[in-house]
Structure 1
């Protein structure tokens, strides 16, 4: 099944690939971002590369979907957003995200979350 790309007026939600690892490392190595994230800040670039691989594996096994958040006008990678603990059988998932603090308070998270919720409820037929 091809990875679902979503678009909003300002954002593109795309598959996270190894090409995004450097930007992902920049975000997840920031203690301000990871403070309530449930993990310690990344210390090595290779950790971000491993995370991109885990996103792919999670998607391939239908246990979750993690999108990279890009600003459409510039192509700038500003974070990720995803459905975690996805259960198509039970029709449920959890949503989580992180953004580069340089892009906080601009409505990007709300815009991306709206697109993912529409996908979750309309395309995946989730209930909760």
Structure 2
């Protein structure tokens, strides 16, 4: 399967290659980005190299797809969005994303996630998309609700970060909901 790039009004969603490692590291080394991410901030460039390599490796074996988010206006790499825990057989995956704080609250994440949701349901034929957030991450929960995801409940002690287990909210969206809403 070839990597398929997506495009929206303001964004290009592209394969994450080595040319983006430094920008990815710059974003993921910010504590405000990883505060509700389920992993600590990156402290070494080599960590970013390993993660970018894992994006490629996991795509090759159909475990995940991760796109780099490029802002068309400046051609800047501003974050990533993707499908984690992808199971083509079970027709499901989980949506994940992060964005450089300079682009928060501008609708960029909604735009990127909407494109991925449409691709997942229309092109990959997925039936279910899930998403997991920290209960305190109101911005992410709000974004998911606006995009038609339904809160299913609390996963107790599901996320591990900063030497502690944390509860998570589980959201989902089903293919028939997507098709009925004409999203």
Counterpart position of 1:109: 109
Counterpart position of 1:24: 24
Q: Distance in 2 between matches of 1:44 and 1:67?
A: 22
Counterpart position of 1:76: 76
TM-score (norm 1): 0.98
Size of the aligned set, in residue pairs, is 128
Counterpart position of 2:37: 37
Q: Distance in 2 between matches of 1:2 and 1:86?
A: 16
TM-score (norm 2): 0.69
- 5+ long unaligned stretches in structure 2: 129-183
Larger C-alpha radius of gyration, 1 or 2?
Answer: 2
Counterpart position of 2:55: 55
Deviation at 1:73, TM superposition (A): 2.1
Deviation at 1:64, TM superposition (A): 0.7
Q: Distance in 1 between matches of 2:52 and 2:19?
A: 9
Deviation at 1:113, TM superposition (A): 0.6
Q: Distance in 1 between matches of 2:113 and 2:123?
A: 15
Q: Distance in 2 between matches of 1:28 and 1:114?
A: 22
Please give the secondary structure, in 2, of the residue aligned with 1:86. Answer: strand
Deviations, residues 55-101 of structure 1 (Å, cap 9, x unaligned): 00010010010000000121100000000000111110000000000
Q: Distance in 2 between matches of 1:106 and 1:79?
A: 13
Runs ≥4 in structure 1, deviation > 2 angstroms? none
Deviations, residues 94-120 of structure 1 (Å, cap 9, x unaligned): 000000001100000000011000000
**Could you say which structure has the greater relative contact order, defined with CA pairs below 8 angstroms and 6 or more residues apart?**
1
The structure with the largest strand share of the pair is: 2
